[in-house]
Amino acid sequence: MSKTQITIEFDADALTSYTDERLALLWHVAQASPAPHGDHAAGELAERIGREIIRRWLREVPPALWHHQGRDYYWAELRKVARYEPGGRADTPEFHAGHWVARADSAAGQP
């Protein structure tokens, strides 16, 4: 058997309209993405799909999905010692191609 490539196309803004089966498929596809670990777009997409799955699972009890997140601690710690310099305007993909630079006041632990 020869190699085959399969492309899955979907509208990330229409996640609420997909069946449970389709959403489960999208979850697996997002997790299997060949994007490097830490890729912003891949991570955001997987998170959006996961949040839709959680929303459906807890349909009768609307949860606060964004108040506490596992990454909050690490972001708070990073912001104590560095600041982000975007690679472009906030509404462009280039924004996420920026870099972190050390804060001059990081020794004092100032955010």
Q: How many domains does the chain have?
A: 2
The confidence score (pLDDT) of residue 64 equals: 76
Q: Which domain holds residue 42?
A: 1-67
Say whether pTM exceeds 0.75: no
Tens digit of pLDDT for each residue in 43-79? 999 999 999 999 998 888 777 777 888 889 999 999 9
Nearest 5 degrees, angle CA 100-CA 102-CA 104?
Answer: 145
Largest CA-CA distance found in the chain, in angstroms, rounded: 61
- At residue 52's C-alpha, the angle toward residues 86 and 77, to 5°, is 40
Mean pLDDT, the chain, integer: 89
* Residues 8-30 as b or e (16 or more Cβ within 10 Å = b): eeeeeeebeebeeeebeebeebb
The CA distance from 25 to 80, in Å, is 39
Which of the pair, 104 or 11, is modelled with greater confidence? Answer: 11
Conformation bin of residue 68: beta by default, left when phi > 0, alpha when psi is -120 to 50: beta
pLDDT at 56: 92
Residue 81: per-residue pLDDT: 95
Query: What number is the average pLDDT over the span 100-105?
Result: 90
pLDDT at 19: 96
Q: Tokens at residue 18, please?
A: 């997909």
Domain shared by 3 and 53, yes or no: yes
Same domain as 101, residue 55: no
Question: Per-residue pLDDT for 106 more than 70?
Answer: no
Residues 41 and 95 in one domain: no
